[in-house]
Amino acid sequence: MSDGRRNNGGNKNAGRKSKAEEQSLIEKLTPLEESAYKALKNALQDEQGWAIKLFFEYLYGKPKQTIDQTNTHTINDFDLSKLYDKKA
3-54 residue pLDDT tens: 666 667 677 777 888 899 999 999 999 999 999 999 999 999 999 999 999 9
**DSSP state, 2?**
-
Question: What's the pTM value of the predicted model, to 2 decimals?
Answer: 0.51
- Sequence-distant (6+) residues with CB within 8 A of 18 are none
Altogether, the residues listed in the chain come to a count of 88
Q: Is 55 exposed, middle or buried (0-12, 13-18, 19+ CB in 10 A)?
A: middle
Q: How many alpha carbons lie under 13 Å from residue 11 in its C-beta half-sphere? A: 4
